[in-house]
Amino acid sequence: MKETNSSVLESAILKKFSNLTLDHADDSDYMTQIRRQAFEAFKSGGLPRRTEEKWKNSKFDQVLENQMEFLTEKPEYNTEVSEIFHCSIHGFTTQVEAFLNGWYYTPNKNPLKVHDNGLIIGSIRAAQHQYPELFNLHFGKIAQHNQHGFSVVNMGLFQDGLFIYVPDGVFVEESIQLIKMVNAAKKLMINTRNLVILGKNSRLSLMHCDDSVNHQSSLINTVSEIFVGENATLDLYKLQNINDVTCLINSTSVWQSRNSRVKVNVITLNGGTIRNELNVDLQGEGAEADLNGIYLMDKKQQVDNQVFVNHAVPHCNSSELFKGILDEESTAIFNGYIHVNKDAQKTNAFQRNNNILMTPDAKVDTMPFLEIYADDVKCSHGATIGQLDNEAMFYLRQRGINEKDARLLLMYAFAAEVTDKIDITPLRVNIEDMVKKRLRGELSICEKCVLHCSTPDIPLEFEIDLSKI
Amino acid sequence: MLLDIKNLHVSINGKEILKAFNLTVNKGEVHAIMGPNGTGKSTLAAAITGREGYEITQGEIWFNGELINDMSPDERANKGIFLSFQYPVEIPGVSMTNFMRTALNAKREFNNQPPVSASDFLKKMEEMKNLVEIHSKLTNRSVNEGFSGGEKKKNEIFQMAMLEPTMAILDETDSGLDIDALKVVAKGVNALRADDNGFVVITHYQRLLDFIVPDFVHVMYDGSIVKSGGKELALELEANGYEWIKEAVAEK
């Protein structure tokens, strides 16, 4: 990339990169080297354009000319998380780990907590120093196949992120809820990077919530790397409810060892431009990945789900079910790429993407892509784009249900196939309720956590007191 | 007069299917409409219930003294018109319970009544399930999804029993039913027959009319009724087929 051709955002990123040594003086040698490599890669590659196949219909090029700022210094946080943020679902408690504008929210001095069972949770910046062996073993390796301009920037410029280590045999009872809040007067580019390591026979349920609490347009660029050890179980929920002007890239890469089980639910309720990347690398025999997503968009919003499943070894199962309802002028992209290695015999890989367009102006690009080199496999894919079923509409209306309610019933039902797969009952009830509210146009996104909403008969406690931040 | 159809002309995509159709159904009456395939029997059901795409080019449909030509399907339903579908639609993800409660409450709201209580609703569900001998739990089942042909038809009569319409149209409810299921369906319909409601039973075969005995039998051909009579007309059709009707029409 020549400096003269670079966009406003690329110039800002280059400038930021030139300050690497100063901004990240506390980095380990390993990290410093990685950041420098990213700088070099960015200089030659820049940010992706629509001319690239995987960014063909993406609206992400709209951020290129935006003037964005970076928060280089971690602000002082003096208030406990529980005092500024409280999110409660009846019958379901989580251990909250909060990030504000990309920085780990720790009012106390200790950025890493070690629990009695050996579970470690905290800031990735601290983890690189305190657990260099764990860190260096996995960091940058799980997501290495998914390289594009934004991930390169993330690698080089990430501010902070969440580090989780679940030791062998440990079942983490309480779900960990990662909350990323954005609230700033300026337009920010926020780069965060998470590293999650599950040891053998361990279990973790993680909720990754992206929220915005103001109406400023920001660019959130998140990369998560997750290593799932032998016979370990991961439940991952990605919940997105951000304002209409924010651009979010949420890229998650998962490495699965032998007999591991991973279930992912991506729930996108609102957001300006969202790109969800989900890369699952099945590297151990007997591994299973169950990947589900629901997206409900309207106005001029865009959601882009890029799902890549790599069957590297035999006897693995993967299934993908992504469904979306697109209203007004919203657009969706689904790119489902399944790769089956020539040694990966007895692979089962299924993929389905169903879309409902509510208006003639809504648009979906769905691109299944199967690349199969083994000969003894079961693979299937299907994609549909349609309207609500007229036969079903008439059936419901013939029973006295008015047009509006009949449409809602059919839309809930369409979404339910995905939300039914959420195993944690109170969470499922809540998300179903949010989906209903979203479809009725009653879901508020500002100043509320994605999990805020609740049925009226369940007491709700939630608020963010911004004056305390 | 419950239902009064006058000189009804109905077109689909510009093609006229119903031609000068006339029918009057009074309270307490059961009318059977018979006739060969493609004569407009299902179009009649669609026109009465207000299905989209069925254009009334001429004529009037009166229900309980009101002209309903331009009413929405849901408004007609809430006023008491019910259609037992020839091909009940499967609606994955919509549970029978949720569906029935929504429908029942829509009707109650229409009639300025408060929503049905959960216990009354469940009691009624149980009662009507027993009436049509549905033994499986409906609570967690989606509407018609995975139902056998017989179950789907029983389910239609079950819904009819739940919603208590004043005018029920049964569109080939007997098709695809074995004799046992047919008896169950007929038992359900007979239990619901009353002095203040009426039925239009559309069928190809006389068989159903052994169990649901009609007051009147009409033969439809090429978009209108060409012959009417008592229940014995059905037997005549069963014995002689429709050819003699066609010939009679052709001679005219």
- Check: CB of residue A197 under 8 Å from CB of residue A166: yes
H runs (alpha helix) in B79-142: 96-110, 118-131
- Residue A462 is predicted with a pLDDT of 36
Residue A406 in contact with partner chain B when CB distance is under 8 A: yes
- Residue B46 is predicted with a pLDDT of 97
Which pair of tokens denotes residue B1? Answer: 């007069």
Nearest CA in chain A to B108: A400
Residue-wise burial string across A390-409, b where 16 or more C-beta atoms lie within 10 A, e elsewhere: eebbbbbbbbbbbeebbbbb
Asked whether the predicted pLDDT for residue B137 surpasses 90, the reply is no
Asked whether the predicted pLDDT for residue A447 surpasses 50, the reply is no
Chain A residues with CB inside 8 Å of B105's CB? none
Residues of B with CB under 8 A from a CB of A: 49, 51-52, 72-74, 77-78, 82-83, 85, 88-89, 91-94, 98-99, 102-103, 106-107, 110, 142-143, 159, 163
Asked whether the predicted pLDDT for residue B21 surpasses 60, the reply is yes
Helices (H) and strands (E) in chain B, counts: 9, 12
Question: CB-CB: which of B77, B92, B142 is closest to A398?
Answer: B77
Rounded to 5 degrees, what are φ and ψ at A33?
-65, -45
- Residue A274 is predicted with a pLDDT of 95
- Residue A115 is predicted with a pLDDT of 94
Question: Could you give the number of structural domains in chain B?
Answer: 1
- Residue A87 is predicted with a pLDDT of 60
Contact across the interface for A413 and B77, Cβ inside 8 Å: no
Does B34 or A460 have the greater pLDDT score? Answer: B34
Q: What pLDDT band is residue A6 in, cutting at 50, 70 and 90?
A: confident
A4-21: average pLDDT: 89
Asked whether the predicted pLDDT for residue A280 surpasses 60, the reply is yes
Q: What pLDDT band is residue A468 in, cutting at 50, 70 and 90?
A: very low
Q: Mean pLDDT in chain B?
A: 93
Rounded to 5 degrees, what are φ and ψ at B65?
80, 5
Chain A residues with CB inside 8 Å of B163's CB? 399-400
CA A377, chain centre distance (Å): 29
Question: CB-CB: which of A390, A397, A414 is closest to B93?
Answer: A414
Which value, in Å, is the radius of gyration of the alpha carbons in chain B?
18
- Check: CB of residue B209 under 8 Å from CB of residue B203: yes
Asked whether the predicted pLDDT for residue B48 surpasses 70, the reply is yes
**For residue range A53-72, what is the model confidence (pLDDT) as tens digits?**
889 899 998 889 888 999 88
CA triple A432-A434-A439, angle to 5 deg: 95
Q: What pLDDT band is residue A414 in, cutting at 50, 70 and 90?
A: very high
Contact across the interface for B74 and A402, Cβ inside 8 Å: yes
Asked whether the predicted pLDDT for residue A443 surpasses 70, the reply is no
| Helix, strand, coil % in chain A, rounded to nearest 5 | 25, 40, 35
Report d(CA B77, CA B97) in Å as an integer: 19
CA triple A285-A286-A292, angle to 5 deg: 120
Asked whether the predicted pLDDT for residue A452 surpasses 70, the reply is no
Asked whether the predicted pLDDT for residue A81 surpasses 80, the reply is no
Cross-strand bridge partners of residue A291: A264, A320
Question: Which pTM value belongs to this model?
Answer: 0.84
Q: Mean pLDDT in chain A?
A: 88
Question: CB-CB: which of B82, B106, B142 is closest to A402?
Answer: B106
Find the range with the poorest average confidence among A69-78, B72-81, B209-218: A69-78
Residue A412 in contact with partner chain B when CB distance is under 8 A: yes
Residue A331, helix vs strand vs coil: strand
β-pairing, A377-386 with A347-357? parallel
CATH at B114? 3.40.50.300
Asked whether the predicted pLDDT for residue A24 surpasses 70, the reply is yes
**For residue range A150-191, what is the model confidence (pLDDT) as tens digits?**
999 999 999 999 999 999 999 999 999 998 888 777 889 999
Half-sphere exposure of A203 (CA within 13 A, CB side): 5
Nearest CA in chain B to A418: B93
Nearest to A347 by CA among A292, A291, A282: A282
Contact across the interface for A399 and B103, Cβ inside 8 Å: yes
Contact across the interface for B52 and A396, Cβ inside 8 Å: no
**For residue range A330-347, what is the model confidence (pLDDT) as tens digits?**
999 999 999 999 999 999
Find the range with the poorest average confidence among A169-173, A214-218, A435-439, B169-173: A214-218
Nearest CA in chain A to B74: A400
- Check: CB of residue A150 under 8 Å from CB of residue A47: yes
A385-403: average pLDDT: 95
- Residue A244 is predicted with a pLDDT of 84
- Check: CB of residue A208 under 8 Å from CB of residue A224: yes
Asked whether the predicted pLDDT for residue A454 surpasses 50, the reply is no
β-pairing, A120-123 with A302-311? unpaired
Cross-strand bridge partners of residue A381: A351
Report d(CA A163, CA A226) in Å as an integer: 10
Asked whether the predicted pLDDT for residue B248 surpasses 90, the reply is no
CA triple B217-B3-B125, angle to 5 deg: 90
Report d(CA B192, CA A180) in Å as an integer: 59
Asked whether the predicted pLDDT for residue A396 surpasses 90, the reply is yes
Give the range of the structural domain holding residue B141, as residue numbers without chain letter.
3-251
- Residue B204 is predicted with a pLDDT of 85
Q: Which of B76, B82, B85, B89 to mutate to test the interface with A (most CBs of A within 10 A)?
A: B89
Q: What is the DSSP letter of B251?
A: H
Q: What is the DSSP letter of B117?
A: P
Contact across the interface for A396 and B91, Cβ inside 8 Å: yes
Residue B220's alpha-carbon distances to A455, B15, B35, B231, in angstroms, are: 53, 18, 5, 15
Asked whether the predicted pLDDT for residue B24 surpasses 90, the reply is yes
Q: What pLDDT band is residue A455 in, cutting at 50, 70 and 90?
A: very low
Question: CB-CB: which of A395, A400, A412 is closest to B89?
Answer: A395
Chain B residues with CB inside 8 Å of A413's CB? 91-94, 142
Does A5 or B20 have the greater pLDDT score? Answer: B20
Nearest to A380 by CA among A338, A350, A353, A348: A350
Residue A356's alpha-carbon distances to A59, A324, A325, A409, in angstroms, are: 20, 6, 5, 14
Q: What pLDDT band is residue A464 in, cutting at 50, 70 and 90?
A: very low
**For residue range B159-215, what is the model confidence (pLDDT) as tens digits?**
999 999 999 999 999 888 889 889 999 999 999 999 999 999 999 888 899 999 999
**For residue range A292-314, what is the model confidence (pLDDT) as tens digits?**
999 999 899 999 999 999 999 99
Asked whether the predicted pLDDT for residue A84 surpasses 70, the reply is no
Half-sphere exposure of A72 (CA within 13 A, CB side): 14
Count CB atoms within 10 A of the CB of residue A242.
28
Half-sphere exposure of A248 (CA within 13 A, CB side): 33
Nearest to A224 by CA among A257, A242, A250: A250
Distance from CA of A29 to the nearest CA of B (A): 55
**For residue range A377-389, what is the model confidence (pLDDT) as tens digits?**
999 999 999 999 9
Question: CB-CB: which of A394, A400, A413 is closest to B92?
Answer: A413
Asked whether the predicted pLDDT for residue B240 surpasses 90, the reply is no
Residue B124, helix vs strand vs coil: helix
Q: What pLDDT band is residue A129 in, cutting at 50, 70 and 90?
A: very high
- Check: CB of residue A196 under 8 Å from CB of residue A206: yes
- Residue A457 is predicted with a pLDDT of 32
β-pairing, B198-202 with B30-34? parallel
CA triple A214-A220-A221, angle to 5 deg: 170
- Check: CB of residue A331 under 8 Å from CB of residue A319: no
- Residue A215 is predicted with a pLDDT of 67
A346-351: average pLDDT: 97
Asked whether the predicted pLDDT for residue A3 surpasses 70, the reply is no
Report d(CA A411, CA A394) in Å as an integer: 15
Give percent of chain A with pLDDT exceeding 90: 66
Residue B151's alpha-carbon distances to A271, B103, B137, in angstroms, are: 44, 20, 12
B101-109: average pLDDT: 95
β-pairing, A233-241 with A203-212? parallel
CB-based contacts of B212, cutoff 8 Å, min separation 6: B30, B186, B189, B190, B199, B201
Residue A432 in contact with partner chain B when CB distance is under 8 A: no
Asked whether the predicted pLDDT for residue A195 surpasses 90, the reply is yes
Rounded to two decimals, the ipTM of the complex is: 0.96
- Residue A88 is predicted with a pLDDT of 56
Q: What is the DSSP letter of A211?
A: E
Q: What pLDDT band is residue B247 in, cutting at 50, 70 and 90?
A: confident
Q: Which of A323, A325, A394, A403 to mutate to test the interface with B (most CBs of B within 10 A)?
A: A394
Q: What count of CB pairs under 8 Å joins A to B?
A: 74
**For residue range A198-207, what is the model confidence (pLDDT) as tens digits?**
999 999 999 9
Residue A436 in contact with partner chain B when CB distance is under 8 A: no
Q: What pLDDT band is residue B239 in, cutting at 50, 70 and 90?
A: confident
Q: A384's torsion region: left (phi>0), alpha (psi -120 to 50) or beta?
A: beta
